[in-house]
């Protein structure tokens, strides 16, 4: 083989590599735009958060949504309803963190009560619970939301109220 014969092969490989890189880059840009959009929504609902913090929270919603096969926007809807994306939220009834999870749910996810005040841990525990509820209720989101708010047993037995403030 001469240099001239080998040249077209390397150009073909180079073109394939460039095509593959462009495809990966487009996917990355798409994911980045999605994450930025979620971060904008978080800041819209909680003005006290910095852009950096909102972007980090958006990453947690995406990460744990993907891990537990839950739509990140569903998790964000819960966080917005429960605490307006405030990681330090506390309810006198015994619910902690951004997602307002109970100590029992936190322990089931492997976290102490104080660890639930970290957004990452709170989102992870909530994603795990919501994924469980989706499986229990065979993918029916309104029932999974009811299970999140009223408890899985409460939603199964019908002891929950459907309204604007709940589901």
pLDDT on residue 3: 55
Q: Which two tokens stand for residue 72?
A: 């990140």
Q: How far, in Å, CA of 33 to CA of 26, rounded? A: 11
DSSP symbol at 34: H
Indicate the pLDDT class of residue 167, thresholds 50, 70 and 90.
Answer: very low
Residue-averaged pLDDT of the chain: 91
List, for residues 3-36, the tens digit of each pLDDT value.
555 556 678 888 889 999 999 999 999 999 999 9
Distance between CA atoms of 36 and 160, rounded to whole angstroms? 35
In the chain, % helix, strand, coil (3-state, to 5) comes to 70, 5, 25
Cβ neighbours of 110 (radius 10 Å): 11
Q: Which two tokens stand for residue 92?
A: 């006198």
Edge-first strand order for the sheet with 95-96 is 90-91, 95-96, 101-102
Least confident of 73-77, 124-128, 143-147, 157-161: 157-161
Q: What is the pTM of this model?
A: 0.85
pLDDT at residue 165 greater than cutoff 70: no
């Amino acid at each position: 083989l001469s240099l001239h014969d080998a040249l077209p092969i390397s150009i073909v490989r180079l073109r394939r590599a460039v095509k593959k890189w462009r495809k990966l880059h487009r996917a990355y840009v798409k994911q980045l735009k999605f994450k930025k959009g979620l971060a904008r929504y978080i800041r819209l609902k909680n003005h006290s958060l910095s852009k950096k913090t909102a972007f980090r929270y958006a990453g947690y919603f995406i990460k744990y949504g993907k891990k537990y096969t839950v739509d990140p926007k569903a998790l964000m809807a819960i966080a917005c309803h429960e605490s307006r994306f405030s990681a330090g939220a506390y309810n006198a009834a015994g619910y902690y963190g951004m997602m307002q999870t109970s100590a029992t749910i936190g322990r089931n996810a492997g976290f102490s009560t104080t660890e639930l005040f970290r957004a990452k841990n709170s989102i992870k525990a909530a994603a795990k619970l919501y994924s469980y509820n989706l499986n229990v209720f065979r993918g029916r989101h309104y029932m999974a939301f009811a299970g999140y708010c009223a408890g899985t047993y409460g939603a199964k037995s019908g002891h929950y109220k459907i309204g604007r403030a709940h589901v």
